[in-house]
Amino acid sequence: MKVLTGLTASPGIASGKVYLFTAPALAYDPTQRGSPAEEEKRLEEAYAAAFGELENIKNTLSKSLGEEFGHIFRAQMTMLEDDDFKQEIADRLKENTLCAEAAVEAAYSTYGELFAEMAEDSYNIQRLADLNDICKRILRNLLGVEEVSLSSLPPGSIVVAEELFPSDTAMMDRENIRGFVTEKGGLTSHVAILAKSLSLPAVVGTPGILNELTKDDTLALDVRDFEQALVYINPDSKKREEFAALERAYYKRREELMVMKDLEPVTLDGKKITLSANIGSVEDLINAQSYGAKGVGLFRTEFLFLRSATLPNEEEQYKVYAEAVKKLNGGMLIIRTLDIGGDKEVKALVLPKEENPFLGLRGIRLCLKHEDLFLTQLRALLRAAVHGDIRIMFPMVSAVAELRQAKALIDRAAADLKSRGIPHRPDPPLGVMVETPAAVFLADELTREGSFVSMGTNDLTQYLLSVDRGNEEISAYYRTFSPAILRAIGMTARAARKNGKWAGVCGELASNPLAIPVLIGLGVDELSVTAQFLPQIIAQIRSLNYSHCRELAEKAAAMATQEEVKVFLKKETYT
């Protein structure tokens, strides 16, 4: 028996038979080519077939898993239609020296090298993965090769691959797959997104595992720790028995925790924590409510824009926001205004190419630059706010002036609606998403002018530590429990409390059981989490003592390293 370690992409426990996944061979003879017109026609047919496949996958997955996963294929469709890519291939065909397959590979290789050179951030890493996936899809259609998918696997399969692209996992057999392991990939990879959506244990970044396996091997995945996962290769009989008992206990506990979903998240000594869900669509909300969600701490509105070839108008947006808040029956719905840029592109909105999009025109900056786009969304939000407790949150704020500009546009939107006699709420609570170091240091001023703050710890960690977790080369530097992060959270929460406002956390840290006691102790009032974790987080909060959490937080924030913090918390807290 051998044990390998990897990164936790999605928690859980699973054991089963290895299914070695390999992509189909796409070999061709470059000397076999027709006239430029014939090759161009073949290419057009392959493009049309590829586009149709992507559209079908996008629509299917948007309905079954939500807009977040469907967006992956919307982004690929956009890249497939890119005029520069098409022109690059067309120019090579006109030279009459390459067949369509070779022209596609040559053109995509050129662009792939550009993305590879810029692969220091997750945006370009994912674009490179998408580019490779698109290239494979076009070649497969040119060659008439059937797609190899995970749609029909033996029961109890654990899929092991070097890397999984979106098309590899799109239509997978959800009944028979028990988990994933990949050699490559980071915590923001497509397989990680998919596994979380399906509550399947998944391990990424496990180099060398393919060299250790054959198709007859078995695996056991222990992915209970939210950071490091253990992969047991061919566990012996004693380990199998031990693991089977562990697996039964783990999933029995998860079932038992479902009874907690309707209880109040209140500590033993009476401290009530507001617990909310992160969603990207009304469908996500329905799923979150099945886990006990009473409110939403983060509604990502960008998926409304990403799923359409045209920008959604005011009426379309209003209907979605109104439907969501009505379904909450009085519960809080925090809607984040359009947050594109960075790793999200909108086909209907032409934006300049940026060398570093994560430091570019994104979030509130983009909305303030495109006022008409922003005002349309704000009017829809104000109209929907008459149906329930809608609160508006602005992303990527780094200056008080940005908040003031956004508030002025709220006033303009309200005045416009009033002049037309359209029912609306002119003054919904307004909040700021704290994701930049600047917002941390300005939390006092921001909470004086706003109604609340919510900390997006994913980006806050990235910007505060100057490291991107999507980059496998430096993933160890993405320290979610860094004392610097804890101190930033504490500073923000104290500033909010001083001004009589509340502070929340809506990043992945809010779902981590090791972090929850220290977040509460730092003064966080609200946690917005991945829906599937709601029952176990309610159970954990109800087992905590607030005064003890405060002691833990004070000691943890005063430590020097992440390693010290994690050892301390694992020893002292309920996990």
CB-CB contact of 391 with 431 (8 Å): yes
pLDDT at 116: 57
Q: Residue 143: how many CA atoms within 13 Å on its side-chain side? A: 19
Residues facing residue 140 across a β-bridge: none
Q: What is the pLDDT of residue 263?
A: 95
Helix H or strand E encompassing 332: none
Helices (H), ranges, 81-236: 83-94, 100-117, 122-143, 166-169, 190-198
pLDDT for 84 equals: 76
Distance CA 575, CA 564 (A): 17
Tell me the two tokens of residue 488.
Answer: 């930033």
HEC readout, 136-157 = HHHHHHHHCCCCCCCCCCCCCE
* 130 and 70 Cβ atoms separated by less than 8 Å: no
Give the DSSP H/E element, type plus range, for residue 289: helix 282-290
Distances (CA, A) of 387 to 15, 58, 300, 424: 47, 31, 19, 9
Residue 475 DSSP symbol: G
Amino acid at 218: T
Whose CA is closest to 376, among 430, 304, 282?
A: 304
- Structural domains in the chain, sorted by start: 2-23+149-255 (3.50.30.10), 36-143 (1.10.274.10), 261-265+434-575 (3.20.20.60), 295-428 (3.20.20.60)
Ranges of the chain with pLDDT below 70: 64-69, 71, 95-96, 111-127, 166-167, 170-171, 186-191, 193, 306-309, 341-358, 469-473, 573-575
Distance of alpha carbon 333 from its chain centroid, rounded?
Answer: 19
Phi, psi for residue 301 in degrees, rounded to 5: -80, -10
pLDDT at 195: 77
Residue among 99, 367, 506, 549 flagged as catalytic: 506
Alpha-carbon gap, residue 363 to 367, rounded angstroms: 7
SS3 content of the chain, % helix, strand, coil (to 5): 50, 15, 35
The answer to whether 190 touches 61, Cβ cutoff 8 Å, is no
Do 8 and 203 meet the contact criterion of CB atoms below 8 Å apart? yes
State the pLDDT at residue 205. 87
Neighbours of 482 (CB within 10 A): 18
- Write out pLDDT tens, residues 469-497: 666 667 778 899 999 999 999 999 999 99
**CA pair distance 490, 518, nearest whole angstrom:** 10
Q: How far apart are CA 201 and CA 177, in angstroms?
A: 10
What pLDDT is attached to residue 164? 81
Q: What is the DSSP letter of 21?
A: -
- List beta partners, residue 268: none
In the prediction, which pLDDT does 119 show?
A: 44
Q: Would the pTM of this model clear 0.95, i.e. be above it? A: no
The pLDDT, as a whole number, for residue 388 is: 97
Alpha-carbon radius of gyration of the chain: 25
What is the reported pLDDT for 40? 87
Phi and psi angles of residue 17, each rounded to the nearest 5 degrees, phi first: -85, 140
Is residue 352 left, alpha or beta, with left meaning phi > 0 and alpha meaning psi from -120 to 50?
Answer: beta
Q: Which residue has tokens 């032409």?
A: 350
Distance between CA atoms of residues 223 and 181, nearest Å: 11
CB atoms inside a 10 Å sphere around CB 35:
10
CA gap 282, 299 in Å, rounded:
9
CB 217 within 8 A of CB 14: no
Q: Give the side-chain half-sphere CA count within 13 A for 80.
A: 25
pLDDT of residue 55: 86
Neighbouring residues of 266: CB distance < 8 A, sequence distance ≥ 6: 272, 273, 541, 542
Spot the catalytic one: 71, 99, 135, 190: 190
Asked if 487 contacts 204 with a C-beta cutoff of 8 angstroms, the reply is: no
pLDDT digits (tens, 9 = 90+) for 330-377: 999 999 999 876 455 566 666 666 666 667 778 899 999 999 999 999
Q: What are phi and psi of 71, to 5 degrees?
A: -60, -30
Structure tokens at 123: 């945006």
Residue 115 has a pLDDT of: 58
Active site residue 424: no
User: Quick check: is 370 catalytic?
Assistant: no
